[in-house]
Structure 1
């Protein structure tokens, strides 16, 4: 998948995010792995901390590991839309991980109504 230029986005209300993204975010937060995985395409890729997790089994393992590694809360602080396929959701995480607070972009690429790519980065 080609890199996407995230500099051309418009802020939107979180309620204007596609249902697929809001369903995923809620499932991720409650650690509902089955619902979270159901939001992805079969060939989806998640990039977190510079590491790619390819396909449902690798994404499931990443979700399960991230759910147990640290205790943290997540607050959605802003949402952006670049086009009908690209959405950036800014979250503030607070918890017992190094540094204690992090503002992270969850950059979603949708294909055929499902999440094809998720890049999590500062």
Structure 2
């Protein structure tokens, strides 16, 4: 996924585009650089916080699967940026639609909630 050139993402803050690129490439240093020190990532109900947990999440979450990801849309829900993703791969179920819900604190990401899209 190239979130910088996808037609649905130009309106996203650079911080969020940087995080999405970092997560896709499993670049924990780049991801941590845009997360606030107190950031929390919640992935379908499991929460991660603190540098070690967040680093492990970025580098390991879903690494055991081969997955293709397509950004399906971007919108705002109040102050929260929502980025829709469609995933296909060899994980249980084979396909899923997820919403990544980003809350910013200034120029850094304070919280990411990854939830199954309604």
- What is the aligned-residue RMSD (CA, Å)? 1.2
Q: CA deviation at 1:82?
A: 2.6
Correspondent of 2:12 among 17, 35, 40: 17
Correspondent of 1:95 among 78, 89, 94: 89
Correspondent of 1:46 among 19, 41, 46: 41
Larger helix proportion of the pair: 1
Equivalent pairs, count: 109
Distance of 1:54 and 1:29 partners within structure 2: 19
Q: Does 1:104 align with 2:98?
A: yes
Distance of 2:112 and 2:20 partners within structure 1: 11
Q: Deviations over 1:57-102 (max 9, x none)?
A: 111111222152211011101001134x410000001111001111
Correspondent of 1:120 among 96, 103, 114: 114
Q: Does 1:36 align with 2:31?
A: yes
Q: Which residue of 2 aligns with 1:7?
A: none
TM-score normalised per structure 2: 0.86
Aligned pairs for 1:56-95 (under 5 A) are 56-83=51-78, 85-95=79-89
Question: Where do 4+ consecutive residues of structure 1 move more than 6 Å?
Answer: none
Q: Say whether the 8 Å CA contact 2:70–2:85 is kept in structure 1.
A: yes
Q: CA deviation at 1:114?
A: 0.5
- Structure 1: state its 5+ residue gaps: 1-12
